[in-house]
Amino acid sequence: MRTLLHAHEGIDVVEADAADVVVIDGPDDGPEGIAVVRLVAADQPGPLPVPGGPGGAVLSRDVSEEALVAAIHAAAAGLMVTDPDLQAAEVPRLAGDLELTPREMEVLRLLAEGLPNKGIAYALGISDHTAKFHVGQILSKLDAGSRTEAVTVAIRRGLLPL
């Protein structure tokens, strides 16, 4: 791992007590107050571990070098990152107490793609009114004032992968 990280500009390998981000392979907890990028088995049973610290990530051990480096930079910036290849049903667990329904998660992903309500309705086979209702619920649950803010909040909370 040290060789991999030294090859990328802006990432230095240092002792954990001097780090902004630590990469941990397995279930062990990281140091207090430091963003943790946790590598887990893709088929890990049960809920995904929640990243601690000011930012963090949960990634599959099979993650690409580019994705690992991007997750390290994102965690250092205070963002929460999840690997989309991990158990999709467990990803909302990273958001803590926030409970979005599976349909709201589908709508949120379409919001992130920039679709308007009519586009969301068409993609999901629902009415425009129902799409508008789901968008309103998402804005309310994420305490967001706009669609863009909802997507930004969702990324920061780890609901949407980067």
User: What domains are there in the chain, each with its CATH number?
Assistant: 2-87 (no CATH), 102-156 (1.10.10.10)
Provide the H-helix boundaries in 1-127: 2-6, 65-76, 102-112, 117-124
Tell which residue, 35, 22, 38, 67, has the closest CA to residue 162: 67
Give the pLDDT score at 78: 78
CA distances from 107 to 28, 47, 93, 146, 154 (A): 34, 22, 18, 14, 12
Give the pLDDT score at 12: 59
- Apex CA 137: angle with CA 146 and CA 108, to 5°? 65
Give the pLDDT score at 153: 85
Give the pLDDT score at 92: 44
Positions in the chain short of pLDDT 50:
87, 89-96
Give the pLDDT score at 91: 46
Give the pLDDT score at 94: 47
Give the pLDDT score at 128: 92
Give the pLDDT score at 31: 67
